[in-house]
Amino acid sequence: MQTETRQPLLKISGLEKRFELDKGFLETLKFRKGRIVSERREVHAVNGVSLEAERGEALCIVGESGCGKSTVARLVAGLLDPSAGQIHYGGQRIDNLGRQALAPIRKKMQMIFQNPYASLNPRMTIQQALEEPVRFHQPHLSKSEMKDKVAEVMRSVGVDPSWRFRYPHEFSGGQRQRIAIARSLTVDPEFVIADEPISALDVSIQAQVLNLMLEAKAERGLTYMFITHDLSVVQHFGTRVAVLYLGSLCELADTATLFAAPKHPYTKALLSAVPQLSDERPNHIRLKGEIPTPINLPSGCPFQSRCAYATSRCSAERPEPILQADGSQVACHAVEEGRLD
Amino acid sequence: MALLSVKDLTVKFAMREQSVTALDGISFDLAKGERLGIVGESGAGKSITGFSLMKLISKPGFIDRGQIQFDGRDIAKMDEPALRDIRGNHMAMIFQDPMVTLNPVLTIGEQMVETLRAHRKLSLEEAEQIAIVKLREVYIPSPEERLRQYPHELSGGMRQRIIIAIALLLEPKLIIADEPTTALDVTIQADIMDLMLELCQTNKVSLILITHDLGVVNQMTERTLVMYAGRIIESGRTREIINDPQHPYTQGLINALPQQTLPGQPLKQIPGSMPSLTNIPTGCAFHPRCAYATSRCKTEIPRTLRFGAVEVACHEVERLKAGQGKAGTGQPAANGNASANGDTSAYDEASTYDEASANGSGS
C-alpha cells in the first residue's frame, strides 16, 4: 500500500512510550527470595502504534481510560519523547528534534486540551493569552497587526472582541473552550491535536464547540487528530477512527466502515456498550474482567484476557494490524483466521 | 400510594445580600419500585434535588418550603435522629466518584460492617455474612477476600459495585444515584447499568437516577424529569420524552446530540448557556435561549400544563404542537380556553399548589 506519490501529513511508525514507575535508585530495590535486587518497573503506555493522517482529515483516536490515547497525542505534539519509533510530519522526522528545530513545526501543529479551566492562565487577560503564541511564532508582526489578528480569531470562534480585556474566570466553560480553540488558531496551524476537547462540557455546549471545530476545519482546511472516549462524537466528527486498547492499535478504519461493520472483538464490545436513544432494551456484549494494568503487559494479544474468542495462539503471539478487504486494518488472530464470522 | 411525594420543594442558599433559589417549587411523585430519571445540564439543580430528598442540604443552604413525604413521613420536617434512621436504612445514595465515597484507610469489610452495625443489632460475624451475600449479589468474585482489601486495591468498576453493595446492605426502599456511571468507561458503565437495573427489578427498589446522559436515562428509567435552572420543565414517560419532547429545551437537548445529525453536518446547537443561580432570567428561565420566546415568556413564569401523561412548563407549547401538526402555520391557541379549540390535546392545570403556597406562606 506504500506508494511514493502519496505523502501523509503525519506518519507514526512503531511508536512506543514507557514510563518508569520507580524514579530513584532506592525505589528500584526489591526484596526477592531472601535477596535484595534492583528491579525497574515500567508502565507500557503505548506499544508499537503505527498510524497515518492525510491532509484535511479528522483522525479520531478512541479507547477507554489507560489505553494510551492521550499519550499518543502528547507524543505527536512533542510534549513527550517516545521510547521507540518515529514520528514524521510533512515528510520530516520530528521526534528527534531539539526545541529550536521544533519551533517552526510547533507553529503548524497546535493542541487543545480537555479542561478549559486549566488551560488558560487565570492571571492573563484573553488578549494577552491570545497574543502570546503570535508573539512567539510571528515576532515580526506589529502591535496593530497583532491586535487585528486576535480580533479576527475571537470573532471566528464567536467571542465578542470587545471582551478581550476580561479574565478567564469571567467566561463560562463553553466560552473558555472556544477561547482555547481561538488560541490554537491564532498562529494559523494546519494540524490541530484535540485531547478530549468537549468531555468537560454540557451537551448543549458540546454541540457549539463541535460545530466551531467543524467550521474551522472547512474554512482553514485543518487536519485534526481528535482524542475522545465518546463514540457518538467520533461517528459525527471523524473521517477515520483508530481504536486503541492497552497501548496497542486494535482497529483502524473509515468512520462509516467502522460503525457499519466493526471487526475486532473489542471494537464490537465498545460499540455495543454505548447507551442509545432508540431501541428499548440494550443488548451489549459483556466483556469479562477489566482492563489489565499496563505494568507487566501480558504476552500475545493485549485483549486476550477479556476476549471470548481467545486461543493459545492469542496468548503466545502478538497480532499485527492486517489490511482487510474494505481498507480497514485489524489486529486480531481470530479475524485473520476467519473464526469470527 | 406513592412511596415518595415531593410537593413544592424550594431550596435556597443564603448569601451575604440576598438568598439564591437553587430549587424553585419542585413537585413529583415516585411509586414503589419505579425508576425515575432526572436529567439536565450542570446548574439545573438535579444534584440538589437528590441531596434535599435526604435532607443533606447543609448551611448556607436550607429548605425554604415544601414537603418531602416518604412512606407517610415528611422528611423536610425531620430532626437529625429521625433522619439517621431514614438515611442508609430506608434510602441510600450512590455518588459519581467511588474513590471519594469509600474511606481509603478502612478495608471494604470494615466499611460494610460499620454501616450494618450502625443500624442493626448484629454481631461482627453476622454482619460479615450479610456483607458477603451482598457482594455476591453485585457479582464481586471471591467476596471473602475483598472484605480484607482496601479501596485502592480495586479497580473503578469494582469500587462502584461495592458502593452499590453498601447501598443495598440495609435493603432500602429507595436508591438515589447521582451520576453513578459518569466516571466509568463505556464498557464498565454498561455492566453497572445492567447490574443496577437487575437489582432494582428483583428487589423492588425504587430508583432516582440523576444524570446528564439521555442515553443512560433511556435505558434505565420508566419516567423522566427534565430540569432547567432549578425548575422541572418537563416530565413524563421516558420513552415519550425522548421520542416526542414538548418543551423547546428538551427538544434542543435531544437534537444537540451528535446521533441526531448526519455525520459532518453542523449540529443543532442551543445558543447561550445555563444561567447562573444568582442571575436567573425573569419569566421562563429558558427564554433568552429559546427560539419561540414571546414577550409573555419574559415576564410570566409558565405554569405546568398536562398533555395526556406528559407535563410541560411552557407558554408556547400549544402553539408548537399546533405548528407540528399543521406544517408550520402555527395557530396561537386561545389562552385559557382550550375547550373552545377543536384540538384533541385536552389540557388541565397540573399545578394548583403553586399559587396557594405563594399566597399562604409569607415567611
The number of C-beta contacts closer than 8 angstroms across A and B is: 117
Q: Is the pLDDT of residue B349 over 90?
A: no
DSSP sequence for B190-202: HHHHHHHHHHHHH
Q: Compute the CA torsion angle B85, B86, B92, B96 (nearest 10 deg).
A: -100
Predicted pLDDT at A280:
59
Name, in order, each residue with C-beta under 8 angstroms of B76's C-beta and a sequence gap of 6 or more.
B9, B55, B63, B66, B67, B68
Name, in order, each residue with C-beta under 8 angstroms of B164's C-beta and a sequence gap of 6 or more.
B94, B138, B180, B192, B195, B196, B199
Q: Cell 534492583 maps to which residue?
A: A38
Mutate to test the interface with B, among A203, A230, A274 (most CBs of B within 10 A): A203
Predicted pLDDT at B351:
36
Q: Is the pLDDT of residue B154 over 60?
A: yes
Confidence of residue B361 (pLDDT cuts 50, 70, 90): very low
Q: Flag whether residue B141 sits within 8 Å of chain A, measured between CB atoms.
A: no
Q: Is the pLDDT of residue B234 over 90?
A: yes
Predicted pLDDT at A25:
78
Sign of CA dihedral A169, A170, A173, A176: negative
Q: Is the pLDDT of residue B27 over 80?
A: yes
Of B187, B216, B261, which is closest to A236 when you measure between CB atoms? B261
Which of A190-199, A212-221, A287-296, B211-220 is predicted with the least confidence, judged by mean pLDDT?
A: A287-296
Task: Tell me if B213 and A215 make a contact (CB, 8 A cut-off).
Answer: no
Task: Give the gap in angstroms from C-alpha A258 to the nearest C-alpha of chain B.
Answer: 13
Task: Tell me if B219 and A275 make a contact (CB, 8 A cut-off).
Answer: yes
Confidence of residue A199 (pLDDT cuts 50, 70, 90): confident
Which residue type does B209 have? L
Q: Judge if ipTM > 0.90.
A: no
Task: Give the gap in angstroms from C-alpha A204 to the nearest C-alpha of chain B.
Answer: 6
Confidence of residue A158 (pLDDT cuts 50, 70, 90): confident
Task: Give the gap in angstroms from C-alpha A18 to the nearest C-alpha of chain B.
Answer: 22
Which of A9-23, A320-334, B84-98, B315-329 is predicted with the least confidence, judged by mean pLDDT?
A: B315-329
* Edge-to-edge order in the sheet of strand B35-39: B91-94, B174-178, B206-211, B35-39, B223-228, B231-237, B310-313, B304-307, B347-349
Predicted pLDDT at B323:
67
Contact A276/B218 with Cβ under 8 angstroms? yes
Predicted pLDDT at A330:
95
Task: Tell me if A290 and B157 make a contact (CB, 8 A cut-off).
Answer: yes
Q: Is the pLDDT of residue B235 over 60?
A: yes
Task: Give the gap in angstroms from C-alpha B45 to the nearest C-alpha of chain A.
Answer: 14
Pairing outcome for strands B206-211 and B174-178: parallel
Predicted pLDDT at B340:
35
A31 pairs with which residues across the strands? A36
CA distances from B193 to A9, B88, B136, B215, B229 (A): 42, 21, 17, 11, 27
CA distances from A272 to A260, A275, A335 (A): 12, 8, 18
Which of A48-57, A164-173, B116-125 is predicted with the least confidence, judged by mean pLDDT?
A: A164-173
Q: Flag whether residue B224 sits within 8 Å of chain A, measured between CB atoms.
A: no
Q: What is the mean pLDDT of residues B123-134?
A: 94
Task: Give the gap in angstroms from C-alpha A159 to the nearest C-alpha of chain B.
Answer: 11
Q: Flag whether residue A293 sits within 8 Å of chain B, measured between CB atoms.
A: no
Element (H, E) at A248: strand A248-254
Q: Is the pLDDT of residue B345 over 60?
A: no
Predicted pLDDT at B276:
84
Closest-CA residue of chain A to B222: A280
Question: Per residue in B166-219, pLDDT tens?
Answer: 999 999 999 999 999 888 888 888 888 989 999 999 999 999 999 999 989 999
Contact B108/B152 with Cβ under 8 angstroms? no
Of A64, A174, A205, which is closest to B186 when you measure between CB atoms? A64
Radius of gyration of chain A (CA): 22
Element (H, E) at A201: none
Whole-number mean pLDDT of chain A?
A: 88
Predicted pLDDT at B183:
80
Mutate to test the interface with B, among A69, A204, A211 (most CBs of B within 10 A): A204
From chain A, pick out residues whose CB is under 8 angstroms from the CB of B194.
Answer: 282, 284, 286
Closest-CA residue of chain A to B41: A202
Q: Is the pLDDT of residue A28 over 80?
A: no
Q: Flag whether residue A231 sits within 8 Å of chain B, measured between CB atoms.
A: yes
Predicted pLDDT at A277:
82
Predicted pLDDT at A6:
66
Task: Give the gap in angstroms from C-alpha B104 to the nearest C-alpha of chain A.
Answer: 20
Q: What is the mean pLDDT of residues A251-277?
A: 91
Of A64, A174, A237, which is closest to B185 when you measure between CB atoms? A64
Contact B267/B256 with Cβ under 8 angstroms? yes
Confidence of residue B69 (pLDDT cuts 50, 70, 90): very high
Task: Tell me if B219 and A236 make a contact (CB, 8 A cut-off).
Answer: no
Sort A46 into a burial class: Cβ within 10 Å, 0-12 / 13-18 / 19+: buried
DSSP sequence for A119-147: SS-TTS-HHHHHHHHHHHH-TTS-HHHHH
Sign of CA dihedral B54, B57, B62, B64: negative
Closest-CA residue of chain A to B141: A289
pLDDT: is B3 or B345 the higher one? B3
Confidence of residue A282 (pLDDT cuts 50, 70, 90): low
Task: Tell me if A235 and B257 make a contact (CB, 8 A cut-off).
Answer: no
Q: Can you tell me the distance from the alpha carbon of B21 to that of B1, in angstroms, rounded to the nearest whole number?
A: 30
Q: What is the mean pLDDT of residues A77-101?
A: 91
- Max CA separation in chain A (angstroms): 72
Task: Give the gap in angstroms from C-alpha A133 to the nearest C-alpha of chain B.
Answer: 28
Q: Flag whether residue A284 sits within 8 Å of chain B, measured between CB atoms.
A: yes
Under CATH, domain B4-227 is a member of which superfamily?
P-loop containing nucleotide triphosphate hydrolases (3.40.50.300)
Task: Tell me if B186 and A231 make a contact (CB, 8 A cut-off).
Answer: yes
Confidence of residue A279 (pLDDT cuts 50, 70, 90): low
User: What percent of chain A clears pLDDT 70, i.e. is strictly above it?
Assistant: 96
Predicted pLDDT at A14:
93
Q: Is the pLDDT of residue B358 over 50?
A: no
Confidence of residue B353 (pLDDT cuts 50, 70, 90): very low
Q: Is the pLDDT of residue B356 over 70?
A: no
